[in-house]
């Protein structure tokens, strides 16, 4: 695999194109969904665990090198675009303003890719839900304050906008059922959530979470911590300091809050981390037996973990974005600067 990557580096460096069509053909060959680099990403599964990090970093660098080379090749034509347009009037105008992906989509896809390689199924639940899915099936008591209108947007028909991605847990447990012996139910479900919050630089009423869940016969807290570490190391491309504190959610027992060292100030204290040096990023825990039962899974036989990553907050950390309002602003000047 390493040699393959090295060869590709050289190959990419030497690429030339005589027309924009050729540039496009190169893009398809290397960077499309079924291109050489994507295929290589698929093979990544077979890399032994202790080399995953090194190879993963090389592959990211390769992808970037290819993207940059393609851009260079393209620019070559953008410059003499007018001259060419004089010759071929049927040609489309160039340079064409290409769209970019939203920073939240970039981070979401990156995490989905990591977990797909680890065998997780990607699922998604609806945004309009009922009380059973958002609260009751998750072991919330009837008088739990989260059910209050102050926190939750209710619709006139009695349904509500989901306040967290955990709302899909029950559906997924029922859909896939208990895992076969020696297997585990592994699902990842990103989604948009809504809470009745006043909006400021660090609060939004519409934000994204990404939930993960793993259920099997011998799942323990060490599995949970392992997956959390893989996730954070891959997203930040380096080891990040974490701390685990007890956290309370009706659907996990024990429950935790996993904090990361504030990436913006490096732990010294800043407005984003409220001067504590730490950021709450990953609430998680072992799935409560009642929740398993309500999902049709025998809690005597199976255990599982769940985590609810704050995707919006993670994107803020990764890109050093200090105002959450940017995400829903539609401000293209700002949103277009994030490319990977
Ligand atoms: N759903 C919880 C929230 O939004 C987070 C969470 C998910 C906690 C999974 C534990 C396990 O606050």
Q: Residue 63's closest CA among 98, 95, 24, 27?
A: 27
pLDDT-derived band of residue 82, with 50, 70 and 90 as boundaries? very low
pLDDT for the residue 80: 55
| 29-63 exposure pattern, b = at least 16 Cβ within 10 A, e = fewer | ebbeeebbbeebbeeeeebeeeebbebbebbeebb
pLDDT-derived band of residue 264, with 50, 70 and 90 as boundaries? confident
pLDDT for the residue 86: 54
Q: What mean pLDDT do residues 69-82 have?
A: 74
Q: What mean pLDDT do residues 247-275 have?
A: 90
Q: What does the block give as tokens for 238? A: 């380096």
pLDDT for the residue 263: 80
pLDDT for the residue 339: 74
CATH topology of domain 103-335: BirA Bifunctional Protein; domain 2 (3.30.930)
Share of the chain above pLDDT 70, in %: 95
62: left (phi over 0), alpha (psi -120 to 50) or beta: alpha
pLDDT for the residue 296: 98
Q: Find the 144 Cα to ligand 1 centroid distance in Å.
A: 15
Of 135, 193, 249, the residue with max ligand 1 atoms within 8 A of its CB, to mutate for a pocket test, comes to: 249
List every span in the chain annotated with CATH 3.30.930.10: 103-335
d(CA 175, CA 172): 5
d(CA 118, CA 121): 9
pLDDT of 183 > 70? The answer is yes
pLDDT for the residue 29: 92
Q: Find the 136 Cα to ligand 1 centroid distance in Å.
A: 14
pLDDT-derived band of residue 198, with 50, 70 and 90 as boundaries? very high
pLDDT of 130 > 90? The answer is yes
Cβ < 6 A, ligand 1 pocket: 164, 166, 211, 249, 252, 255, 283-285, 306-308
pLDDT-derived band of residue 87, with 50, 70 and 90 as boundaries? low
Residues 301-321: pLDDT tens digits? Answer: 999 999 999 999 899 888 888
Of 133, 138, 164, the residue with max ligand 1 atoms within 8 A of its CB, to mutate for a pocket test, comes to: 164
pLDDT-derived band of residue 134, with 50, 70 and 90 as boundaries? very high
Residues 118-128: pLDDT tens digits? Answer: 999 999 899 99
Q: How many CB atoms lie within 10 A of CB 105?
A: 14
Contacts of 230 (CB under 8 A, 6+ apart): 114, 118
This prediction's pTM: 0.71
Name the more confident of 146 and 162: 162
Alpha carbon 29 to chain centroid distance?
26
Q: What mean pLDDT do residues 37-46 have?
A: 87
Residue nearest to atom 6 of ligand 1 (CA): 308
Kindly report the average pLDDT of the chain as a whole number. 89
Share of the chain above pLDDT 90, in %: 52
pLDDT of 181 > 70? The answer is yes
Q: How far is CA 306 from CA 169, 244, 251, 253, 316, in A?
A: 9, 15, 9, 10, 23
Q: Find the 234 Cα to ligand 1 centroid distance in Å.
A: 21
pLDDT for the residue 180: 94
Q: Find the 285 Cα to ligand 1 centroid distance in Å.
A: 8
Of 135, 170, 190, 251, the residue with max ligand 1 atoms within 8 A of its CB, to mutate for a pocket test, comes to: 251
pLDDT for the residue 85: 47
Residues 232-255: pLDDT tens digits? Answer: 888 888 778 888 899 999 999 999
pLDDT for the residue 324: 92
Instruction: Look up tokens 């947007």; give the residue.
Output: 153
pLDDT for the residue 79: 60
pLDDT for the residue 271: 81
Which of 172-181, 273-282, 301-310 has the lowest average pLDDT? 273-282
Q: What angle do CA 202, 167, 290 make, to 5 degrees?
A: 120
Query: For residue 320, which phi and psi values (nearest 5 degrees)?
Result: 55, 45
pLDDT for the residue 16: 86
d(CA 74, CA 223): 46
pLDDT of 30 > 50? The answer is yes
User: 3-state secondary structure string, the chain?
Assistant: CHHHHHHHHHHHHCCCCCCHHHHHHHHHHHHCCCCHHHHHHHHHHHCCHHHHHHHHHHHHHHHHHHHHHHHHHHHHHHHCHHHHHHHCCCCCCCCCCCCCCCHHHHHHHHHHHHHHHCCCEECCCCCEECHHHHCHHHCCCCCCHHHCCCCCCECCCCCEECCCHHHHHHHHHHHHCCCCCCCCEEEEEEEEEECCCCCECCECCEEEEEEEEEEECCCCHHHHHHHHHHHHHHHHCCCCCEEEEECCCCCEEEEEEEEEECCCCCCCCCHHHCCCCEEEEEEEEEECHHHHHHCCCCCCCCEEEEEEEEHHHHHHHHHCCCCHHHCCCCCHHHHCCCCC
Q: What mean pLDDT do residues 192-202 have?
A: 92
């Amino acid at each position: 695999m390493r040699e393959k990557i090295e060869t590709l580096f050289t190959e990419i460096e030497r690429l030339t194109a005589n027309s924009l069509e050729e540039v496009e053909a190169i893009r398809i060959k290397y960077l499309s969904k079924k291109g050489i680099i994507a295929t290589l990403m698929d093979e990544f599964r077979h890399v032994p665990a202790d080399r995953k990090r090194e190879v993963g970093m090389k592959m990211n660098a390769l992808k970037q090198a290819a993207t940059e080379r393609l851009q260079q090749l393209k620019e070559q034509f953008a410059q003499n675009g007018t001259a060419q347009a004089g010759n071929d009037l049927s040609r489309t105008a160039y340079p064409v303003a290409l769209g970019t992906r939203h920073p939240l989509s970039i981070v979401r896809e990156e995490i989905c890719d990591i977990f797909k390689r680890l065998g997780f199924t990607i699922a998604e639940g609806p945004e309009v839900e009922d009380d059973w899915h958002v609260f009751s099936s998750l072991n919330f008591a009837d008088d739990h304050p989260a059910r209050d209108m102050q926190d939750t947007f209710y619709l006139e028909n009695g349904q509500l906008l989901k306040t967290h991605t955990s709302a899909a847990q029950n559906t997924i447990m029922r859909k896939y059922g208990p895992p076969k012996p020696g297997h585990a139910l592994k699902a990842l479900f990103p989604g948009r959530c809504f809470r009745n919050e006043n909006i400021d630089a660090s609060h939004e009423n519409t934000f994204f979470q990404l939930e993960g869940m793993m259920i099997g016969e011998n799942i323990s807290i060490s599995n949970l911590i392992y997956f959390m570490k893989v996730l954070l190391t891959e997203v930040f491309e380096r080891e990040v300091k974490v701390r685990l504190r007890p956290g309370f959610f009706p659907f996990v027992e024990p429950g935790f809050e996993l904090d990361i060292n504030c990436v913006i100030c490096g732990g010294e204290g800043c407005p984003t981390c409220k001067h504590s040096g730490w950021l709450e990023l990953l609430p998680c825990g072992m799935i409560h037996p009642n929740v398993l039962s309500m999902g049709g899974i025998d809690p005597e036989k199976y255990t599982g973990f769940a985590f609810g990553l704050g995707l919006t907050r993670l994107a803020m950390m990764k890109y050093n974005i200090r105002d959450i309002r940017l995400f829903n602003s539609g401000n293209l000047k700002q949103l277009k600067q994030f490319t990977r």
